A and B are shown apart, each in its own frame.
Chain A
Amino acid sequence: MSTRGQEISRVVVLKLARLVGVLFCVAVLCFFSLNLLPGSPAQAILGVAGSSPKAVAALNHKLGVDQPLLHRFVTWIGNVAHGDLGSSYQSGESVAHIIGKTAPLSLELILLSQIVALAFAIPAALIAAARRGTFADHSIGAGALTVLSTPNFVIGFVLIWIFAVGAGLLPASGYAKVSEGLGAHFESLVLPVICLAAAPFGLYQRILRADLLGTYDSEFMSVARAKGVSPRRRALHHALRPSLLGLTTSVGAMMGTLIGGVVIVETLFGLPGLGAQLTEAVSNRDYVEVQGIVLVMAAFFVVVNTIIDLSYVFIDPRLRSIRAIGEAT
């Protein structure tokens, strides 16, 4: 038993080391992105026209751009390690503070839409797989492919049309804080969450259905059928669990799509989250803020995926041995 414990801890250490390496390089890229700007950062922030050389020099000094590159980098990464992401040029507010203020709403949106997508995709996949090749299977499949192929802002407009303009049931935009009442709060999130959940729903349904079909072909499923186990029990108790690996993986990968989706959906529905903040920072040319938000989003994405990666080691016994990890390497 001890060897297995050692193997697991070795795998965990390896994956965490890789995580640190990736995070460091992500930070390096975020830092150097400022140097992609045409001219100096100050010039880009102030705009090409209407910036006196004096103002540019002053701002360059304020941003610390007049220091040597390596020196700046060491200072910057030290600050980042302490949670200091610099301050917004526009408002003077600390970027870390802005992120702390806006990120909870985005997290709530992502979490709710993952739950909604899974809650609809799992039954849809179970039905489609159990009735393979029937009308039900084909129509669910066509639906999944359609929502997967539709950009979320188009889905957003369709929803606004049906629920807000047509039926007048739900608010088309605007946000109600939790302090304004839980009902109003969730009401303001219904359309954005459906909008975000659409693409993951489509993907999850397709992946789980395919994995379920693979499981249905295996011998123990034929045995269960021969024993006279009911179709419902076969689907829920026999087929579902061994078919979940692909789904778990795609939940992690979908985080990336959802982070991008949050940017568009928050802008569309006028929600004050981190995504809308990023769009605003980009259009204000507030590059320090853009840098900070992108860094935090990437870090969140990588950390979530590492956690999911690690969870396999505990969930699936086949992936516990070093050899299995080595084969995947």
Chain B
Amino acid sequence: MSATATEQLEVAGVIASGEPRKRRLHGWRVSELLSLAWLIALIVGMFALPPLLGLHAQTPSVEAKLAGPGAGHLLGADNLGRDLLARVLSGAHVSLAIGFGSVLIAAAIGIPIGMFAAYLGGAFSAIATFCVDVILAFPGLILALALTAFIGPSFLSVLVAITVPMMPVFARLAKIQTASVLQREYVEASRVIGTPMLSILRRDVLPNIAESMIAFALVSVGTAIMIEAGLSFLGLGVPPPQPSWGSMIAAGQTYLESGPQMIIVPAAFLVLTIVSLNLLSDRFLSEQGADKG
């Protein structure tokens, strides 16, 4: 395998941001605390608020048509008078399930493949690398688009379409990181005394690559949420009536002037969520940088 463009980018993206340490509150930056607070509030809110406030994502109402934010509808209503808070929270289920789901599956399959490839080398590594190259030849969104087009839009097909292009990226990153850990002396020593492969990978390698894998996973959750939003913006996401942030934004296109809240509300949720994930990912990176520096 040669160090191709994407591979180096991933390494660069993950190793790039070695920030100097900033002011911290018990070791946490203010921006990171806010990010964590937003994600927790979103997850708690999407389960707790609808029953608490009696919100319904699908109930239309003639008088609330394009209503601005107010007492009746906290964040306003859409062109059919459906409550935007209810819809955006219902969309959060889709975004977060697909975001975290696809990354968990991709990491669970990709990371072991990458670790084995680095340990075993030879034919296994060559074949795995070639498969990775082939899948990565398709630009992410294009592969997702083609897959949903051919399988037909549903929650499951969107999940598959986003997971498949993500797996090889995890494999590639895990392979590079594992290869560098395997060169350390204590791993050599462990090999010499005959520790079996699986326990070397589990006990010596995994803890050492975990931090950068978590950092990359958090960025990937953001990317997955962004691709899901893109697909549903194009009308190829989770099919209606289930609202999703991307399809809500697409629906607001026609009401740009009369009901801007139809775009502002889902767009704000989308951007805040992705920014939060990226900021938290940076935390793992700078922790890592601080350890090494």
A, B bound: yes
Chain A residues in the interface with B (C-beta under 8 A): 14-15, 18, 21-23, 25-26, 29, 33-34, 36-38, 132-133, 145-146, 148-151, 153-154, 157, 160-161, 165, 203, 206-207, 210-211, 213, 246, 249-250, 252-253, 255-257, 259-261, 263-264, 267, 278-279, 282-283, 285, 287, 290, 294, 297-298, 301-302, 305, 308-309, 325, 328-329
Q: With A and B bound together, what is the CA distance between A110 and B263 in angstroms?
A: 26
The residue in chain B whose Cβ has the minimal distance to the Cβ of A327 is: B3
Q: Is the CB of B4 within 8 A of A305?
A: yes
Q: Is the CB of A153 within 8 A of B230?
A: yes
Contact residues of B: prevailing secondary structure:
helix
Q: Knowing A145-B278, A282-B236, A309-B5, say if A294 contacts B263 (CB, 8 Å).
A: no
Q: Is the CB of B274 within 8 A of A263?
A: no
The one of B6, B9, B140, B229 that contacts A260, using a Cβ cutoff of 8 Å: B140
Among the stretches B108-116, B148-156, B187-195, B196-204, the one at the interface with A is B148-156
Tell me which residues across on chain A come within 8 A of B75, comparing CB atoms. none
Contact residues of A: prevailing secondary structure:
helix
User: What mask results when residues 222 to 236 of chain B are scored 1 for a CB within 8 Å of chain A, else 0?
Assistant: 100010011001111
The residue in chain B whose Cβ has the minimal distance to the Cβ of A154 is: B267
Asked if B98 is an interface residue, CB under 8 A from chain A, the answer is: no
Q: With A and B bound together, what is the CA distance between A246 and B10 in angstroms?
A: 10
Q: Is the CB of A282 within 8 A of B149?
A: yes
Q: With A and B bound together, what is the CA distance between A251 and B288 in angstroms?
A: 26
Q: A36-B150, A246-B9, A305-B5 are in contact. List 11 more A-B contacts (CB 8 A).
A: A22-B130, A23-B137, A151-B229, A165-B257, A203-B13, A249-B5, A259-B141, A282-B236, A285-B149, A309-B4, A309-B5
Q: Is the CB of A263 within 8 A of B278?
A: no
The residue in chain B whose Cβ has the minimal distance to the Cβ of A21 is: B130
A195 to chain B minimum Cβ distance, whole angstroms, is: 13
The one of A246, A290, A305 that contacts B16, using a Cβ cutoff of 8 Å: A246
Tell me which residues across on chain B come within 8 A of A253, comparing CB atoms. 5-6, 8-9
Q: With A and B bound together, what is the CA distance between A90 and B141 in angstroms?
A: 24
Q: How large is the interface on B (under 10, 10 to 19, 20 to 34, 35 or more residues)?
A: 35 or more
The residue in chain B whose Cβ has the minimal distance to the Cβ of A281 is: B149
The residue in chain A whose Cβ has the minimal distance to the Cβ of B17 is: A210
Q: With A and B bound together, what is the CA distance between A37 and B149 in angstroms?
A: 9
18 A–B contacts, CB within 8 A, in A order: A15-B2, A133-B20, A151-B274, A157-B267, A211-B16, A249-B8, A250-B5, A256-B139, A260-B139, A263-B141, A263-B142, A264-B234, A290-B146, A297-B139, A301-B137, A302-B137, A305-B5, A329-B1
